[in-house]
């Protein structure tokens, strides 16, 4: 089994951080998405959305979507649960996971994709008005997360779970996306200080270079 990821792309980071938290080792690769390595025919067969992360099994089958990949590993390695333990806990974690992904992570991602010059080639067309609308939506969501973190060490309680990996990656991504998190959200800032000190966030998963030269040549000559 192989994980196809990226050293800084935030969705790939979600899976890397999850694996480091769980202590799961596997062969992981850096796919150079910015240079079109996910646009080849070979990659299209694995993920028609041309995105990382991808979990590739030895029989050629594939799972994509960061949280789906993490859920697979969670079933296979239930020790140190990161999706909650009881039915209620799992639902609570899922609630905050979706909130963090829809209202924070995705809003930061849309600002990045539609405004950042580095995305000009990949996000066609970039729609700056859409980015500004998402920035606005994000600013409406941040106070809700700040309030939740006033009473809780982590989003869903006193232990780190998958929703913290999503929110932490969104906060990390906000720097790259040039999205400012206002200083008055003190709980959110204190939380981010705590989270980024974890070994899973500060140490990088070791990634090999994904070489897909044959498929790249095939795509270019097609």
159 binds ligand GSH, rule: CB under 6 A:
no
- Regarding 53 and contact with ligand GSH (CB under 6 A), the answer is yes
- Contact with ligand GSH (CB under 6 A) among 33, 131, 195, 207: 33
Number of residues that bind ligand GSH (CB under 6 A): 13
33 alpha-carbon distance from chain centroid: 15
Q: What does the alpha-carbon distance between residue 2 and residue 24 come to, in Å, rounded to a whole number? A: 12
State the Cα–Cα distance between residues 40 and 216, nearest whole angstrom.
6
| Shortest separation between residue 184's beta carbon and ligand GSH, angstroms | 29
Contacts of 104 (CB under 8 A, 6+ apart): 138, 141, 142, 145, 166, 167, 170, 171
By C-beta, is 15 or 188 nearer to ligand GSH? 15
Mark the segment that binds ligand GSH (CB under 6 A) among 51-59, 71-79, 152-160, 188-196.
51-59
Taking contact as CB under 6 A, which single stretch among the options 45-53, 157-165, 178-186, 210-218 is the one that binds ligand GSH? 45-53
The yes or no reply on residue 166 touching ligand GSH (CB under 6 A) is no
- Between residue 62 and residue 81, which ones bind ligand GSH under the rule CB under 6 A? 65-66
| Rounded Cα–Cα distance for residues 47 and 41 (Å) | 10
Name the segment binding ligand GSH (CB under 6 A); options: 8-16, 55-63, 80-88, 150-158: 8-16
- Smallest distance, Å, CB 183 to ligand GSH? 27
One of 9, 56, 170, 181 touching ligand GSH (CB under 6 A): 9
Whats the size of the chain, residue-wise? 222
User: Hey, how many other C-beta atoms are within 10 angstroms of the C-beta on 207?
Assistant: 18
What phi and psi values does residue 26 have, to the nearest 5 degrees? -160, 170
Cis preceding-peptide flag for 125 (omega within 30 of 0) = yes
Cβ 163 to ligand GSH shortest distance, Å: 14
H-state helical runs in the chain: 10-22, 41-46, 66-76, 87-99, 106-115, 128-151, 162-176, 186-196, 199-202, 213-221
For residues 126-155, which are near ligand GSH according to CB under 6 A? none
Contact status, residue 146 vs residue 186, Cβ threshold 8 Å: yes
Interface residues toward ligand GSH, by CB under 6 A: 9-12, 33, 38, 50-53, 65-66, 122
């Amino acid at each position: 089994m192989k994980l196809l990821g990226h050293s800084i792309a935030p969705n790939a980071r979600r899976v890397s951080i999850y694996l480091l938290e769980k202590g799961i080792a596997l062969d992981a690769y850096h796919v150079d998405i910015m240079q079109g390595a996910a646009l080849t025919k070979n990659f299209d067969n694995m993920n028609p959305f041309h995105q990382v992360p991808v979990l590739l099994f030895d029989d050629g089958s594939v799972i994509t979507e960061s949280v789906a990949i993490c859920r697979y590993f969670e079933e296979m390695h239930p020790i140190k649960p990161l999706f909650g333990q009881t039915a209620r806990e799992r639902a609570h974690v899922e609630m905050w996971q979706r909130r963090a992904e829809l209202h924070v992570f995705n809003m930061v991602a849309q600002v990045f994709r539609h405004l950042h010059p580095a995305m000009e080639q990949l996000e066609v067309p970039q729609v700056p008005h859409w980015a500004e609308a998402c920035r606005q939506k994000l600013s409406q969501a941040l106070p809700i997360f700040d309030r939740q973190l006033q009473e809780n060490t982590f989003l869903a309680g006193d232990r780190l779970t998958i929703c913290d990996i999503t929110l932490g990656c969104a906060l990390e991504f906000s720097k790259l996306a040039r999205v400012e998190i206002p200083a008055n959200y003190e709980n959110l800032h204190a939380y981010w200080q705590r989270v980024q000190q974890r070994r899973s966030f500060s140490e990088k998963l070791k990634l090999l270079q994904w070489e897909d030269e044959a498929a790249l040549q095939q795509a270019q000559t097609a």
